Amino acid sequence: MNTIWYDKPEEDPFYIALGIAVQMRRLAFGLTQQQLADAAGISRSEVQFIENAKRRETLQTMRRCCRALGGIWLSELFMEVERRCHLANLGRPTLVA
């Protein structure tokens, strides 16, 4: 198994796919970034960082987001991220919903 460490999260397929998954779920619920931030107890800029893969987020922050996104399980979100990475082939995430 090849392990690759990306210096920047915005280059890491996992964090890119995570941002896409959070954004797609947020939009599906009709929430703004501010509304998601308020419901999760984080700042709007934190939501922007997640959606744009600008920072490696803590599990606690992601758990808060999951609760705010309809109470989904963190594992459910991560499975969606892995599915996106797998579908994209070679680890590159896809924008497909």
CA dihedral 10, 16, 18, 20 (to 10 degrees): 120
Percent of the chain having pLDDT more than 90? 67
Query: What's the CATH code, domain 9-88?
Result: 1.10.260.40
Per-residue pLDDT, 89: 58
Q: What confidence tier does 39 reach under pLDDT thresholds 50, 70, 90? A: very high
Round to the nearest angstrom and report the end-to-end CA distance of the chain: 28
Q: Which range, 8-12, 54-58, 90-94, has the best average confidence (pLDDT)? A: 54-58
pLDDT for 65 beyond 80: yes
What pTM does this model have? Answer: 0.82
- Cα 44 to Cα 29, 77, 93, distances in angstroms: 16, 20, 24
Residue 20's CB is within 10 A of a number of other CB atoms, namely 20
